[in-house]
Structures are given as structure tokens and as C-alpha cells.
Amino acid sequence: MSVAVIIPAAGSGSRFGGEIPKQFRLLGGKPILQLVVERFLAHERVSRIVVAVAEMLVDEAKQTDRVKFVAGGATRQQSVTNALASVGDVELVAVHDAVRPFFTYGTFDALLAAAAEHGAAFPGVPVTDTIHLVRDDRIVQTPDRPALVAAQTPQCFRAAILRDVLTRAAGDDATDEAGLAARFGHEVRVVPGDPTNFKITRPEDLAMAERMLEEA
């Protein structure tokens, strides 16, 4: 089945801070977004990559047959929705954060297979901290830890399912599409993720990513 990849890269990186958004910071001498795009380009099943970036960057981006840049939106969900309009006629779509440079082909292939079979799949890692639901500085609920997983990307979908849920959730601000797919009644499979596929969120995450490259 044909595969397209959507990379939302239009965020401002407010938790990371600094002058330039974190997805353009260098890791091993290259912008993080470029590392991610190159890793998907090297995968034989990926026919097209659509990257959502800040509108002012679209004109200066280098469009190619396989890599297209479109304007993102005010939320991650809107950026993914904008990119989805340009994936073309594909059967499977993966959505991957621009700032997770360490995803593996092993996980990606497992996710594509699970999405082809069941409709939707995401990489999940067990949480190690106890997670409390808190309101007004008080614990309201403590979910059973073994039942919790932290959601990573790439999240993979049959294209029709991703289109369906993004249309139905238009205007919302969901942080991932797997949750949306589940919300609208689709079966969503969890595939084992990998703790090294962390999201670069704060400066210390980039420092750790640099150390991982040096040790590799």
C-alpha cells in the first residue's frame, strides 16, 4: 500500500524557547527537521512527504517531487489538517512530529502493518511515573499505571480514517490523531514504542539528543 508522511513543523516551540523554533535547531550539524525528512525519504515505501511550516517559510522552501511544504495552522491539529489536503491519492498516512529524530524503521514498519490491518496504530511506551488527574491542586483520580501508555509518533492511519476524524474534529486542538480516531469509534492499535524516540521539547532534550548521536 502506498504511504505518505505528514510532518507538522509549524510550531513555535514555546517550551523550548530561543530565537528560532526548535525544529530548525541543529542536531549533529543539521536542522532536526531535515534529519527527520531525510530518514523518511530513505524509506522505500514512502512516496510523498508533506511538511507543514509557518506560512512565511513556504515560499523559500525547496519543493521537490517527493517533499512538499504547505502552510501550517494555529494548532498542531490544524497543521496536520492542512498537510492532509496535499498528500494526494495514497492508502496509508503517517503523522510524525518534526522533533522526534530517533524513530526507527522497525517501529514504523510495524505501525504501517497494523494500520493496514486495523485502520489506525500508534507507538506507545509504558509510563514510569504514577500519573494523577488533578483539578484545583487536588487529585481527582489515579488511573491504574499498567493501563497507561505515553503516545509517540509516527501514528499511522488508513487515509480515509484520518480524513474522517480530522473533518469531524475540525476546530478542536487535539495533541494527537490516535486519540481522535478512538474518540470517533475507530479501532486504534498500540504498537510498542521506544523511549529513545522522545520528543525534543526543552533544551535539555536537545542536549540529550546530541549525546546520543555522539555515542552512536
User: Which residues in this chain contact ligand CTP in the complex, by CB under 6 A?
Assistant: 8-16, 23, 52, 72-76, 79, 97-99, 199, 201
Strand partners, 83: none
CB of 109 to ligand CTP, least distance (A): 22
Return the number of the residue (14 or 141) whose C-beta is nearest ligand CTP.
Answer: 14
CB of 201 to ligand CTP, least distance (A): 5
Is the previous residue joined to 8 through a cis bond, with omega within 30 degrees of 0? no
Return the number of the residue (36 or 112) whose C-beta is nearest ligand CTP.
Answer: 36
Residues 6+ apart with CB under 8 A from 142: 130, 131, 132, 133
Strand partners, 189: 121
Distance CA 117, CA 60 (A): 39
CB of 48 to ligand CTP, least distance (A): 17
As a 3-state breakdown, the chain gives helix, strand, coil percent values, each rounded to 5, of 35, 25, 40
Pairing of strands 67-71, 149-151: unpaired
Return the number of the residue (55 or 187) whose C-beta is nearest ligand CTP.
Answer: 55
Distance CA 8, CA 100 (A): 11
Grid coordinates standing for 139? 487529585
Which run of H or E residues covers position 160? helix 159-168
Return the number of the residue (117 or 172) whose C-beta is nearest ligand CTP.
Answer: 172
CB of 77 to ligand CTP, least distance (A): 8
Pairing of strands 67-71, 46-53: parallel
Return the number of the residue (118 or 202) whose C-beta is nearest ligand CTP.
Answer: 202
Distance CA 206, CA 32 (A): 10
- Give the residue carrying C-alpha cell 517550551: 15
Return the number of the residue (52 or 125) whose C-beta is nearest ligand CTP.
Answer: 52
